[in-house]
Structure 1
Amino acid sequence: MHLVYLACRSTVPSSTNRRVDAFEHDQMMDCLRRAFEPHGGKVSDVAWDDQTVDWSTFDAALIGTAWDYPDNLPAFLAALDMIGAKIPVFNSRALVQWNTDKGYLRDLGDKGVRLIPTIWLDKVIPRAFGEVFDAFGVDTIIAKRQVGAGADGQHKIIRGDAVPEMPHAMMIQPFMPSIVAEGEISFIFIGGEFCHALLKTAAAGDYRIQSCYGGKETPLTPSADDIAAASEVLGACDETPLYARVDMVRADDGGLVLMEIELVEPFLYPLQGPELGPRLYQAIKARL
């Protein structure tokens, strides 16, 4: 089996201006190669928008570090259509399109998944933000792009602060203190089965848990109740994804609420999950 790992031009090793978090790309490629090569397989990393590639030379595509898709969404989806006409692409085109806009959270909420309270704004009017604070009854909120990733274009705003310019459609949520007190818990599922979990914590003085902001990851053995909460999120999807990362935070009552379910291009933390590579190999093989 020859797998193509879909990246972006700033994460592939040949890039002359690699992203600071491109080491995550290298970790995933190492994980996949060590899993595939003992079975005679091969894994190649290619930018999703590389026009020179003959995609039919591969057996399947796995969406990987395609981290520039939020600013190139129509072209990205068109590329998946083109690649998918020649080889299977994971996750599926339908799941990817659904998951690229964070409005998918409303669908999950309608199915009973426990969410962080959210106000959806297609256009941000700064003078109206006082009403947002009042609606949540809090003094600190988080504003995120509805189509975005990696905390790009995200803002933490305290009541009374000047509201920054936000040209994109946004989602507004109350700041969850547990993201600092405990951290964010990520649950990795492969083929619908729980694989591993980790706790992501922010650097001192920050709340963002991504590595490019100084965040740290620690392997975690979650409780049965916490795994069940994450599994409930996965079960609310219209189809079982090949891979999923369910990101959750703890509410005041001790239960978990969904931050996001990542089905497009999540980093799957291979260093914290030694079974990840073999599980991915078997899951892809089973679907071909």
Structure 2
Amino acid sequence: MSSRRIALATCSSLPALDDDDVPLVPAFAQRDVVAEPVVWDDPAVDWAGYDLVLIRSTWDYTDRPREFLDWVRRVEKSTRLVNPASAVEWNVDKSYQRTLESAGLPIVPTIWLDPERNFDSRQIHTRFPAFGDFVIKPTISAGSRDTGRYSAGETSSRALAITHAKSLLQAGRHVMLQRYLRQVDTVGETAIVFIDGVFSHAVRKAPLLSGPFRAPTTTSVLYKEEVMSARDASPAEREVAERVVAALPELVPGVDGPLVYARVDLIPDDAGNPVVLELELTEPSFFFALAPGSIDRLVDAVVARL
């Protein structure tokens, strides 16, 4: 019997893992490694009893980011964590995009609203674009939660946007205001997955945002359902994503080489050039079913760290 054990960290809503990750268990078993789904905030878990903890579907952390980061640091003190705590801490708040932009990497143009500024309705309104659609979302979020799309040319839509932004700010959350890049409606997003710093595969995400933010009718909603399909990343998309991944050791504290995994989500700007919408280093979906061989690539990368 194998003496090597790893925990696949998940959340209480998905105690047996997300469907996409379930094949990881037999894939690790084929390499003589016991992989067990474990709920990240279960107080009874002895994390030191595992040789490695692989963060997977911990998608409720956005409701308790401080608790999650405390857990990340605690786990790393007792065993190996993938990805490492420093990368997770840097990545859970989307303000990391400021660092990408400062490094010359293309992001969606963003206006940042700080709750400490105590913005009133007029101050929020003046930051909206004069035309076109725009998006409001908190800097700590996942799966398009707490995110809405609004029309600058409609008074009622702008009023809803002000209400949305104010509610986030009053809750102490930092807010991103981004112009909606319309080519995403036809092209969609391209999610590019890297394993051990090397391109693995790409998938297409159909557009998700169709209107203003609406509070979910149930508290169990972790993310909006995504419509996914396989996609060949264009040379321009590959080039941007590879630049982002190559820059990580210089941008992320404590990272001195390739991370086990990274996912770069890109959308086209108005000229069709790819820009970074998200950089996922914490708990991204990999859409294994759309990319033959991708499970083996990830599992081999993890086993190499044991």
TM, length-normalised to structure 2 = 0.83
Superposition deviation, residue 40 in structure 1: 1.4
Of 256, 262, 275, 1:257 maps to 275
Q: 1:151 is matched with which residue?
A: 144
Superposition deviation, residue 285 in structure 1: 2.2
Aligned runs of 1:155-194 on 2, under 5 Å? 155-159=148-152, 160=155, 161=157, 162=159, 163-164=162-163, 165-166=167-168, 167=171, 168-194=173-199
Structure 1 unaligned regions, length at least 5: 14-21
State the secondary structure of the residue aligned to 1:27: helix
Contact 2:143-2:222 within 8 A present in 1 as well:
no
Contact 1:7-1:65 within 8 A present in 2 as well:
yes
Q: 2:127 is matched with which residue?
A: 132
Contact 2:149-2:210 within 8 A present in 1 as well:
no
Q: 2:200 is matched with which residue?
A: 195
Superposition deviation, residue 127 in structure 1: 2.3
- In structure 2, do the counterparts of structure 1 residues 48 and 58 end up closer, same or farther at CA, with 3 Å as the change threshold? same
Q: 2:230 is matched with which residue?
A: 219
Distance 2:93 2:60 in 1: 14
RMSD over aligned CA atoms reads: 2.2
Q: How many residues align?
A: 274
Distance 2:209 2:148 in 1: 17
Can you list the C-alpha shifts for 1:16-57, whole angstroms capped at 9, x where unaligned?
Answer: xxxxxx7xx122122x12321112112111111111112122
Contact 2:189-2:207 within 8 A present in 1 as well:
no
Distance 1:128 1:207 in 2: 20
Identity of aligned residues (%): 29
Q: 1:58 is matched with which residue?
A: 50
Of 87, 108, 112, 2:79 maps to 87
Distance 1:44 1:192 in 2: 25
State the secondary structure of the residue aligned to 1:6: strand
State the secondary structure of the residue aligned to 1:194: strand
Structure 2 unaligned regions, length at least 5: 214-220, 250-254
Q: 1:232 is matched with which residue?
A: 243
Superposition deviation, residue 214 in structure 1: 4.7
